[in-house]
């Protein structure tokens, strides 16, 4: 069951601020920092909070990790390769310390919350100065202070399902911002470690979310991305429950031009949300709806609580209510016991839905999850061959699917110069598809009107038009 969230107290917030002040005054504190981020948008936003706290401690960001006095790895453990990469990079930094003896190394994030990881860090990675889990992020100043005043490594992995309001944030972008609306997850999909490392589902109070959105709007932010592991079940844990659609309607009234959200669970995608999207000019016509598999038996083993039919019904309803909606998904291949016929059900679902984008993964067993203990793990070579077929099908279909945008007017929030040309810029359109159009650095952070003229790989090509067109 979702729990009513406990906010950290004002007293605790002030205690952490005191540690920040103490660190600023320490003569031996690092002067520069670098944050290395792995994983999802939630982690990227946590890194912005870490950077915010480090700046308040008086440190400046170093462009590359080799030049920093303090390097922190914000890790992900959702897939095995992210975990291995993080540990590999941490070990590599040990070599850097030979020429930079005062270098401080910290590791935080989901990986640290994994059962047994803290003990492993203490034993095998003694050169790490500081390690803490996602639940302890708000205590970072206190832990940093301890690490700076100790010869031993400081490790904290307390299970604190709290909500920390008001942490300093150093945002990566000024035109678009992440806004977390809830933490944790109660779904326990059998392949997923998130509920074990990010805790149970807890929602922020709508007033706190609205206040943050208003502050962002005042700074000129044009787009907010609402974040949560399953935003569709937002509000169930509040003392006065509110639906996600209800929250969206309140946010919409602020008038921020673009509102997006991530991630949704198909079982919680309500008619109310679809109706809210259909009548809105601020909520962007895009939806990331992870399907994971096209086969009912596999979906049941994944503990997903929907069938292929139910999923397709939701897709149909979304498309009916929001014509032309941009649709993307996540798919896992090689789930334990997946037969060739069951995999082909996934291929046929992809053919039927025709996504604008798909994140495809080979199943990666995570210790402690139910799927890791299931019989008939699919051999690597079989899973490898299946994912190639899936990617090839998706690429072929995507080229066709994206052609529906040709001739359409689109508005693009420009993110930067195109990688191919200094006379072109790129960014995301309202449908979440990348668009490249003529432009220059002056367009970055602006919403530019354009007309789609073509498709190149996964990107739309466009020409500029006036706003009045
Ligand atoms: S909904 Fe499922 S896949 Fe998503 S975070 Fe929760 S347990 Fe993991």
Which pLDDT band, with edges at 50, 70 and 90, does 4 fall under?
low
Q: Which atom of ligand 1 is found nearest the CA of 78?
A: 8
Query: How far does CA 201 lie from the centroid of its chain?
Result: 16
CA of 265 to the centre of ligand 1 (A): 8
Strands 154-156 and 162-163, how do they pair? unpaired
In tens, the pLDDT along 192-203 reads 999 988 888 999
Q: State percent of the chain over pLDDT 70.
A: 98
Instruction: Tally the C-alpha atoms within 13 A of residue 425's C-alpha that lie toward its C-beta.
Output: 23
Q: At residue 122, does pLDDT exceed 80? A: no
In tens, the pLDDT along 331-375 reads 999 999 999 999 999 999 999 999 999 999 999 999 889 999 999
221 lines ligand 1 (CB under 6 A): no
CA of 43 to the centre of ligand 1 (A): 15
187 lines ligand 1 (CB under 6 A): yes
CA of 264 to the centre of ligand 1 (A): 9
pLDDT on residue 5: 64
Q: Which of the 8 DSSP states describes residue 397?
A: H
Q: Whose CA is nearest to atom 2 of ligand 1?
A: 189
Residues in the chain: 469
For a ligand 1 pocket test, name from 194, 198, 306, 372 the mutation site with the most ligand atoms within 8 angstroms of its C-beta: 194
Q: At residue 103, does pLDDT exceed 60? A: yes
Q: Which residues sit opposite 426 in a β-bridge?
A: 416, 436
pLDDT on residue 3: 56
pLDDT on residue 135: 86
Q: Whose CA is nearest to atom 8 of ligand 1?
A: 192
108 lines ligand 1 (CB under 6 A): no
Residue 73 phi/psi, 5° resolution? -100, 115
Whether residue 217 contacts residue 255, with contact meaning beta carbons closer than 8 Å, is answered with: yes
CA of 10 to the centre of ligand 1 (A): 32
Specify the range with the lowest mean pLDDT, choosing from 84-98, 266-280, 305-319.
Answer: 84-98
CATH of 406-464, one of 2.40.50.140, 2.40.50.100, 3.40.50.1370, 2.60.40.1260: 2.40.50.140
87 lines ligand 1 (CB under 6 A): no
In tens, the pLDDT along 34-54 reads 999 998 899 999 999 999 999
Q: At residue 423, does pLDDT exceed 60? A: yes
Q: Whose CA is nearest to atom 1 of ligand 1?
A: 187
Whether residue 346 contacts residue 295, with contact meaning beta carbons closer than 8 Å, is answered with: yes
Strands 434-438 and 459-464, how do they pair? parallel
For a ligand 1 pocket test, name from 180, 187, 361 the mutation site with the most ligand atoms within 8 angstroms of its C-beta: 187
**Greatest pairwise CA separation for the chain in angstroms:** 66
- Does this model's pTM top 0.95? My answer is no
**176-404: CATH number:** 3.80.30.20
For a ligand 1 pocket test, name from 186, 191, 192 the mutation site with the most ligand atoms within 8 angstroms of its C-beta: 192
What does the mean pLDDT of the chain come to? 93
What are the domain boundaries of the chain? 6-163, 176-404, 406-464
215 against 3, higher pLDDT: 215
For a ligand 1 pocket test, name from 39, 182, 230, 265 the mutation site with the most ligand atoms within 8 angstroms of its C-beta: 230
Q: Which atom of ligand 1 is found nearest the CA of 265?
A: 1
In tens, the pLDDT along 148-159 reads 998 888 988 877
Q: Whose CA is nearest to atom 4 of ligand 1?
A: 229
Q: Which residues sit opposite 225 in a β-bridge?
A: 178, 260
Q: At residue 143, does pLDDT exceed 90? A: yes
Q: At residue 101, does pLDDT exceed 70? A: yes
pLDDT on residue 400: 95
CA of 230 to the centre of ligand 1 (A): 7
For a ligand 1 pocket test, name from 110, 265, 332 the mutation site with the most ligand atoms within 8 angstroms of its C-beta: 265
190 lines ligand 1 (CB under 6 A): no
265 lines ligand 1 (CB under 6 A): yes
Q: State percent of the chain over pLDDT 90.
A: 75
Q: At residue 87, does pLDDT exceed 90? A: no
pLDDT on residue 468: 60
Query: How far does CA 321 lie from the centroid of its chain?
Result: 26
Which spans in 365-430 are helix H? 380-402
352 against 100, higher pLDDT: 352
CA of 194 to the centre of ligand 1 (A): 6
User: In angstroms, what CA-CA distances link 69 with 30, 178, 296, 385?
Assistant: 5, 27, 52, 44
Q: At residue 2, does pLDDT exceed 60? A: no
CA of 77 to the centre of ligand 1 (A): 13
For a ligand 1 pocket test, name from 77, 110, 189 the mutation site with the most ligand atoms within 8 angstroms of its C-beta: 189
Report the CATH fold assignment for 6-163: Rossmann fold (3.40.50)
Please spell the DSSP secondary structure of 34-71, one letter per residue: EEEE-SSHHHHHHHHHHHHHHHHTT-EE-SSGGG-SEE
Q: Which atom of ligand 1 is found nearest the CA of 229?
A: 5
CA of 234 to the centre of ligand 1 (A): 14
């Amino acid at each position: 069951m979702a729990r009513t969230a406990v906010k950290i107290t004002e007293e605790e917030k002030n205690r952490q601020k005191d540690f920040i002040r103490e660190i600023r005054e320490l003569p031996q504190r690092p002067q520069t920092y670098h944050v290395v981020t792995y994983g999802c948008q939630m982690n990227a936003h946590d890194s912005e909070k870490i950077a915010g706290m480090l700046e308040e401690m008086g440190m400046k960001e170093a462009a590359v990790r080799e030049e920093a006095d303090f390097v922190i790895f914000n890790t992900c453990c959702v897939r095995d390769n992210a975990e291995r990469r993080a540990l590999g990079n941490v070990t590599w930094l040990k070599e850097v310390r030979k020429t930079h003896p005062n270098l401080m190394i910290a590791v935080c994030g989901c990986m640290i919350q994994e059962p047994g990881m803290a003990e492993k860090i203490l034993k095998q990675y003694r050169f790490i100065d500081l390690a803490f889990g996602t639940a302890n992020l708000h205590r970072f100043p206190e832990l940093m202070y301890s690490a700076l005043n100790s010869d031993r490594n400081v490790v904290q992995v307390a299970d604190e399902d709290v909500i920390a309001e008001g942490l300093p944030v150093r945002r990566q972008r000024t035109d678009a911002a992440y806004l977390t609306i809830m933490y944790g997850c109660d779904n326990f999909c059998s392949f997923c470690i998130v509920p074990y490392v990010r805790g149970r589902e807890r929602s922020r109070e709508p007033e706190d979310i609205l206040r943050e959105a208003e502050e962002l709007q005042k700074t000129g932010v044009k787009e907010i991305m609402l974040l949560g592991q399953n935003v569709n079940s937002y509000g169930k844990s509040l003392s006065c429950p509110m639906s996600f659609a209800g929250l969206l309607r309140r946010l919409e009234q602020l008038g921020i031009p673009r509102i997006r959200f991530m991630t949704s669970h198909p079982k919680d995608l309500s008619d109310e949300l679809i109706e809210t999207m259909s009548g809105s000019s601020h909520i962007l016509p895009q939806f990331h709806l992870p399907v994971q598999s096209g086969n009912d038996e596999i979906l049941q083993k994944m503990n997903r609580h929907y069938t292929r039919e139910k999923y397709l019904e939701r897709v149909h309803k979304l498309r009916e209510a929001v014509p032309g909606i941009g649709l993307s998904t996540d798919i896992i291949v090689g789930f334990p016991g997946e037969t060739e016929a069951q995999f082909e059900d996934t291929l046929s679902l992809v053919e039927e839905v025709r996504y604008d984008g798909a994140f495809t993964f080979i199943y990666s067993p995570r210790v402690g999850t139910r799927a890791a203990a299931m019989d008939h793990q699919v051999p690597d070579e079989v899973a490898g061959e299946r994912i190639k077929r899936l990617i090839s099908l998706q690429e072929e279909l995507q080229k066709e699917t994206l052609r529906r945008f040709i001739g359409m007017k689109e508005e693009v929030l420009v993110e930067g110069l195109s990688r191919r040309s200094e006379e072109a810029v790129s960014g995301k359109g309202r449908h979440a598809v990348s668009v490249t159009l003529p432009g220059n650095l002056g367009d970055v952070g602006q919403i530019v009107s354009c007309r789609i003229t073509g498709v190149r790989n996964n990107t739309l090509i466009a020409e500029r038009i006036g706003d009045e067109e």
